[in-house]
Structure formats: C-alpha cells, structure tokens
Amino acid sequence: MEKWYPGHITEAKRELIDNLKMCDTVIEVVDARSPFASKNRELDKFIKGKNRILIINKSDLIEEKISINLEKNFKKKYRYVAAISAKSGKNMKRLLYILEAMFRKKKEKLQRRGVNAFPIRVVVLGVPNVGKSQIINKLIGRKVAGVANKPGFTRGKQWVRILPNVDLLDTPGILWTNSSENELKKMALIGSLKDSFHNTMGAAIHLIEIISKRGIEKAYQVVLTKEEPESVIEELTNIWKKSEEDVYKKLITDFRKGKLGLISLESA
Ligand SMILES: Nc1nc2c(ncn2[C@@H]2O[C@H](COP(=O)(O)OP(=O)(O)O)[C@@H](O)[C@H]2O)c(=O)[nH]1
Ligand SMILES: [Mg+2]
C-alpha cells in the first residue's frame, strides 16, 4: 500500500500515532536542499512531550555555509540539530553523541527513582527519500534498512539497536496534506513524490528558475541564448536531440544526483 497518496494519509497518521506511543524520542529528517518544504508543520501536534532531534541530511549536496546557517536557524526551535550526510558520513558522530546524551539523561532520571534504565526508543520520521534508512544503515555500519532512490520503499516495522542503549525504528515516509504548490514542486525535485504523482514539467521549470540559465550552462558546458525556463528547455531539446519530456527528466535526475552542483532550493 502506498502511504503517500492523500487517500492513505489517514491510515499513515494512525500508524504514526501507534509508532509514537512506543518511542520517547523522535528524529525528524529533512532534506538539506529543501529543508522547509520537506519539513512537517503538522508533526508538532503529534509529538508533544517527546525529545526531538532535527537532522538535516544530504548536506553534501549544498554549500557548507548554507548548512551552517540552516543549523543556526533551526536551533532557535530545536534543542538538537545536526546537518549531516549519511552518504559521506559527515557529522554522523554528532548524532550518536546526541543519542548517548539523551540516554544518560534518562538513566539519571530513572536512577533517582531507583529504576534501572532501559534503552531509549527512537522513531525516525520524515517524508520519503530524505535518507531515513540510509542514516540508520550508516549508524549501524551495515545494511539493514532498505534504501532506495524512490519514495515509499520502506515497509513494515524495522527496529534496530544502534547502540547498547538506543533502539531505532525506521518508518516509511509520510506526506502531508498542507503543502503549497511551490513546496510540492520542491518535494518532486528532491524525489519525495512518486514520479506519476507530480507534474514533471512544472518541477523542471521550477528548477531552472532557481539555478538560472547560467547554472545550466555551467553544469552542462553549453551556451544558451535566452533566460526564460521554457526557452532553456527548448534549446536543450535541440542540443541534446531529446524530447521535451526527456529533457525535464534528465534535469531532475541530474539534480537529484548532485550533478548540477551544490544547489539549495530554498534560502537558509
Ligand atoms: N547525496 C546523498 N544522498 C543520500 C544521502 N542519504 C541518502 N541518500 C540517498 O537518498 C536516497 C533515499 O535514501 P533512503 O534512505 O532510502 O530514504 P528514505 O526513503 O528516507 O528511507 C537513496 O538513493 C540514498 O542513497 C546523503 O546524505 N547524501
Ligand atoms: Mg526508507
């Protein structure tokens, strides 16, 4: 069953509430290239009273100074924030330190009441394709959680012990109903929406608007004459001898792989 279709959102929410009941800590994962669109405003009301960690993943795909700014900005709201890359391993240690610190705090609290501490249970949340499974795999150093470059790959419940005192629950990504048109385009670009579920042309044009004609020329070593995204597409169809549809797809695929350079879809 594909949880990101609006029709299934109610069911996905019910499952989320179930998962949350079992956990005391939430790791919310967002995509560094579009942290605001991939972040969930609805989540707040579900996770009152839990420890929260915000992870800005795929920071290898944006500029370092933007990563630092994002961390700074999110720290105004979240106590624990880390811009990481589950691919390169950057800052993964920080995430481990945060989890260890949380366990120590819990242990002290329980010891005061004369109770032995049990592992903290952490649920990993976020829209599809932000790298939740990859983060878990990196934390345990072997492949357990399914990783795929398509939304909705993770299914069923997958608990993994990543430290002697920390159990993690991987979850399938959940989409939300309150995203704006522009946010949906960004979600399509970062691969959080199924391809059949978004307008490829709209997403590709949005991408060109953000990186501009100059960015395209630089990425592909081509010379273009006009600025307008529609003209850029048309010129690329001629240069590459591809259909318009194939040009949209190529731009989006190359962006997702980081082949267009370090690109942020939102300002930090
Ligand atoms: N560049 C980059 N790619 C990543 C990173 N983390 C995950 N990915 C890729 O993003 C895609 C989705 O990862 P996955 O863990 O399945 O995402 P999930 O749907 O949130 O569980 C896969 O192709 C991963 O290889 C990262 O830090 N940097
Ligand atoms: Mg997954």
> What is the signed CA dihedral for 109, 112, 116, 122, rounded to 10 degrees?
-10
Task: State residue 1's pLDDT score.
Answer: 33
Q: For residue 149, what are the domain limits? A: 6-170
Task: State residue 152's pLDDT score.
Answer: 47
54 vs 125: CA distance, rounded Å: 10
- Please tell me if the CB atom of residue 57 comes closer than 6 angstroms to any atom of ligand 1: yes
**pLDDT digit string (tens) for 144-197?**
555 555 454 445 567 888 888 999 998 887 777 678 889 999 999 999 988 777
Which of 256, 16, 260 has the alpha carbon at shortest distance from 126?
Answer: 16
Q: Which residues of the chain have pLDDT under 70?
A: 1-9, 142-157, 177, 268
Asked if residue 211 and residue 130 are part of one domain, the reply reads: no
Asked if residue 121 and residue 42 are part of one domain, the reply reads: yes
Asked if residue 33 and residue 155 are part of one domain, the reply reads: yes
Query: What is the CATH classification number for the domain harbouring 97?
Result: 3.40.50.300
Give a yes or no: residue 267 inside a domain. no
- C-alpha separations of 253 from 9, 33, 149, 249, 260 in Å: 27, 14, 11, 6, 10
- Whether the Cβ atoms of residue 166 and residue 122 lie closer than 8 Å to each other: yes
Task: State residue 3's pLDDT score.
Answer: 46
Asked if residue 162 and residue 223 are part of one domain, the reply reads: no
Domain total in the chain: 2
Give a yes or no: residue 245 inside a domain. yes
Asked if residue 71 and residue 132 are part of one domain, the reply reads: yes
Task: State residue 188's pLDDT score.
Answer: 94
Burial (0-12, 13-18, 19+ Cβ within 10 Å), 197: middle
Sheet holding 51-57, edge to edge: 80-83, 51-57, 25-31, 120-125, 166-170, 158-163
**pLDDT digit string (tens) for 228-249?**
999 999 999 999 999 999 999 9
Asked if residue 203 and residue 73 are part of one domain, the reply reads: no
- Write down which residue in 154, 170, 186 finishes a domain: 170
Cα 208 to averaged position of ligand 2 atoms, centre (Å): 28
| Secondary structure (3-state) at 245 | helix
Task: State residue 147's pLDDT score.
Answer: 57
Asked if residue 215 and residue 104 are part of one domain, the reply reads: no
Give a yes or no: residue 19 inside a domain. yes
Cα 131 to averaged position of ligand 2 atoms, centre (Å): 7
